[in-house]
Structure 1
Amino acid sequence: MSISVRLEKKRPAMMHQMAVNCLHGFKQVLVDISPVNVVKKALILNGNVLQVKNQCYQLENNVKLVGIGKAAHEMIVGAEEVLGGHVKDGVAAVPVGTRVSANLKTKFLQGAKDNLPDEAAVKNTKEILQYLKQNNRGEDSLVLFLISGGASALLTAPVSGVLLEDKLATIKLMASNGLDIKEMNTVRIALSEVKGGGLARNLGKAKGISLIMSDIVGGQMAKVGSGPTVLQPRNLTDAARLLETKGLWDQLPSNVREALQKPETISSDNNVNVQNELIADNQLLLQSVKNNLELEGIPTVIVNNSLEGNAREIGEKFAEFVENWDKNSEIRPPFGQFNLKVQQGGACLALIYGGETTVAFPKVLEVKHPKGGRNQEMVLAFFNYLKRSKIYNNKRFVFMSLGSDGQDGPTDATGAFICSEDLDVNDENSNKIEFSLVNKNSYGFWSDFLNGERLVKTGKTGNNLMDVQILILG
């Protein structure tokens, strides 16, 4: 498969200026697709009638809000702005440290410190379940769920007989043995009263709408927070068989083994009335960035929206591509499933990627308190590769890797960028690139390089749509 792209003649004198323009556009995109705005766009209110996609609901000051996740606060703000007096009250589980706006009708419960289930999350989940049970008796009641990334840790209700520490030990065991997200969700759902649609099963006679913002590669609603409002089978036998097949059964806490061996209780979901809608994901972020770049006159192609793997290795792969880039021939972009045939016009081409990578830590570090994140590491690896190759004459490019949440690792940066002019910088910090990569201190390097001008700082955005990589070739 080949895609033809015509390069426009519009071309800034310096790639750095193009990077600045691109970053300005990225920041505007984050505003345009903020949780507040995507929720407001999803809820269409006409008098007393609420429309969500192709379904309509009659409102009589009967709306209850339930928010869960890192973006829950902003989603609640958007919902209360649209629905106004139709909102009776609400409750939301949010991360520790979340700043709460004044004058909201919703009560906010903080938990899951360090993005891990904790006793506060268990207590908050009990309060949310009690809230639903108090408001699920009437068919005219309407519960609006607002779900985002982080919900899995914030919404925690282990099945009877399983303690929080048992569940945490099981999750750690699965993660350390390489189980994928689908396999882990099978076990999580089996051990939870709220995952896999468990939260929605507490609706009773009430109607439910669930607006979901995905932080999962591929955007599957059922995987966001293990799908608390997406009805899925809770199969103890499948979970037990999976753990046996993986050779983990004997390593499980005894309470977990006992819970998975209990007789199956099959309940019908036919009476659960919930409309699940995906309102934002990484693809929305990428498409918005693409639209913005094309407004700047830069032909843009979304290559891959499921980028996963080691951040350093991926950064090096991008750099290898730039090293071999030849605008006069048909090319296969890195991590792409198609070739690009460039029609000459003499300007620039942008390739866009999305997903979420990881950083691998060595057992021994030479830096006492390293700071960095996957996006900063990827750009540093890209820079390091081209610096070492020294085959970059006449190569014109911009490369950036940016998070949508405004926080890359435990730092105040959302990512970093590099442009072709930077390869010629004779800076003593350049000798520290490899050292910084090995010691996972990418933030330390970028803070020193050009006085921190290549760090990108947006502040926390309240968003959580994974990352975006932008490679502009001149």
Structure 2
Amino acid sequence: MPNMPNTPASHLANPRALLRHLYDVAVQRALPLHNTAAFLPQPPKGRTLVLGAGKAGGAMAQAVEALWPAGAPLSGLVVTRYHHTPPRPDGLPQRIEVVEAAHPVPDAAGLAAAQRILQLTQGLTEDDLVLCLISGGGSSLLTLPCDGLTLEDKQRINRQLLASGAPIGDMNTVRKHLSAIKGGRLAAACAPARVVTLTISDVPGDDVSVIASGPTVADASTCADALDILRRHGIDLPLAVRVQLETGALETPKPGDPRLARCETHLIATPQQSLEAAAEAARALGLRAYVLSDEIEGESREVGKVHAALARSTALGRSSFETPCVILSGGETTVTVRPRTEGQARGRGGRAGEFCMGLAQALGGQAGVWALAADTDGIDGVEDNAGALVTPDTLARASALGLNITDHLARNDSYGYFEPLGDLVTTGPTHTNVNDFRAVLVL
């Protein structure tokens, strides 16, 4: 993490470095090794089985291995996204197997991992402990279709949900009811063992039943809810699966289910904690810092416009925020993919980049406003960047290169817009995930 000089003139002279510093602080706050020890239970009378899924899965597994008593039995299987397994520290023995699979659309490797994880729950007793490590991305990585649904069906439904603009809660309601392992089903399979879930939140409101579609948490949503979401977004199902939803045959374990009586869940890192860490870092540099919310949802470009309005009013002295300041927010916005016209190239980019385009367009070159938006897992959508930067001269520099922001918004092409400007934020996988990070600097 880069060090920033603690003098107002020096850090305000380099807004790009300042914004990147705040992002790095937010990510650092959410790393598993810094947050796991306080929540680890004592070794049980029987054996300890570690199961998990998510973009932070590899780092979470390594944290448990580093902190677990050397002489206590420990084994298990965790699945993470391709290329998201961190380098193994020298001298750290590997007791938990880590495998990789696809995100955001599931693949055969994720299916095989989910099958193995469910098989590992067989034969557990009351004396055993199951330590579940859950983080964002687990919905795709831990894929095990219900009866009557193929992996290809799940992939198609996942793609359609991702393109629909549906909020994460709706997407996960569908995923839970079309799965043999999500929505509390993994915890039910572990009974009668004690189940302790350690989770890193990547969802607005930190609802543990939504993170990775809650494989170890009771589910209050219903088959009827899932059907309604599928109908609203025009997503088709095989007839046999639709009938199972209509009859309630695919219902998930509900609150009060006795199979989940010995389950407990602990949030070890949250978006709000990371935003507060970034705010403290900004204040340490003499900047005012305002945290809007860690629960902001909506269309990414529209959220960008709202942030632009707030930044502009602040820059012009018309808001209650005093300059120089940084305005921070988190949450999970959505991108509704626009239909392509004939011959139009496919757009590249994710939520953070789309936010930045909406912000830049609405700012219209406002002097004194800089911004960074990036996903804390280091990957914005399916590209190799975490997000992008907006500067007061973004529109002017883009225009000089023949780039039209309206055209790029029309085809959801934030990568193609910011890459020629040299304004992509590229970090590589960070090995954690507390969702979107946005920082708007007003000087």
TM bucket normalised to smaller: 0.7 to 0.9
In the TM superposition, what whole-angstrom CA distance separates every residue of 1:35-64 from its partner, at most 9, and x where no partner exists?
Answer: 332224533xxxxxx4xxxxxx35468322
Higher Cα radius of gyration: 1
Aligned length: 427
* Structure 2 residue aligned with 1:22: 19
The one-letter code matched in structure 1 to 2:257 is: D
* Structure 2 residue aligned with 1:252: 237
Q: Which of these residues, 332, 344, 351, is aligned with residue 356 of structure 1?
A: 332
Q: Take 1:416 and 1:297, find their aligned partners in 2: how far apart are those partners?
A: 25
Q: Take 1:257 and 1:188, find their aligned partners in 2: how far apart are those partners?
A: 14
Note the 1:20-419 alignment, pairs <5 A: 20-43=17-40, 50=41, 57-59=42-44, 62-85=47-70, 86-99=72-85, 101=87, 103-111=93-101, 113-134=102-123, 136-137=124-125, 139-168=126-155, 181-232=168-219, 235-236=222-223, 238-239=224-225, 242=228, 251-261=236-246, 269-272=257-260, 273-325=262-314, 328-329=317-318, 331=319, 340=320, 342=322, 347-359=323-335, 360-364=337-341, 368=345, 370-387=347-364, 392=366, 395-419=367-391
SS in 2 for 1:448: coil
Q: Take 1:385 and 1:279, find their aligned partners in 2: how far apart are those partners?
A: 37
Identity %: 26
Q: For structure 2, which runs of at least 5 residues remain unmatched after alignment?
A: 1-6
Say if 1:29 and 1:385 are closer, same or farther in 2 by CA, change over 3 A: closer
Say if 1:316 and 1:89 are closer, same or farther in 2 by CA, change over 3 A: same
SS in 2 for 1:363: coil
Say if 1:312 and 1:76 are closer, same or farther in 2 by CA, change over 3 A: same
Q: Take 1:429 and 1:381, find their aligned partners in 2: how far apart are those partners?
A: 19
In the TM superposition, what whole-angstrom CA distance separates every residue of 1:366-410 from its partner, at most 9, and x where no partner exists?
Answer: 7746543332333344334444xx6x4xx4222221221112234
Q: Take 2:359 and 2:414, find their aligned partners in 1: how far apart are those partners?
A: 12
Please give the TM-score of this superposition, normalised by the length of structure 2: 0.82
SS in 1 for 2:440: strand
1:431 CA drift (Å)? 5.3
Q: Take 2:198 and 2:100, find their aligned partners in 1: how far apart are those partners?
A: 21
Deviates more, 1:204-213 or 1:434-443: 434-443
Q: Take 1:269 and 1:209, find their aligned partners in 2: how far apart are those partners?
A: 16
2:419 aligned with 1:460: no
Note the 1:421-440 alignment, pairs <5 A: 428-429=400-401, 432-440=404-412
1:171 CA drift (Å)? 5.5
Q: Take 1:174 and 1:441, find their aligned partners in 2: how far apart are those partners?
A: 19
Say if 1:316 and 1:462 are closer, same or farther in 2 by CA, change over 3 A: same
1:225 CA drift (Å)? 1.7
In the TM superposition, what whole-angstrom CA distance separates every residue of 1:206-248 from its partner, at most 9, and x where no partner exists?
Answer: 2111001122122110011211111225855x35874798597
1:166 CA drift (Å)? 4.5
Q: Take 2:430 and 2:413, find their aligned partners in 1: how far apart are those partners?
A: 24
SS in 2 for 1:278: strand
The one-letter code matched in structure 1 to 2:133 is: L
In the TM superposition, what whole-angstrom CA distance separates every residue of 1:78-130 from its partner, at most 9, and x where no partner exists?
Answer: 1110004224211112234444655411123333x342233433332221111
Deviates more, 1:366-375 or 1:63-72: 366-375
Contact residue 324 and residue 442 of structure 2 kept, 8 A: yes
Say if 1:247 and 1:428 are closer, same or farther in 2 by CA, change over 3 A: closer
Deviates more, 1:91-100 or 1:142-151: 91-100
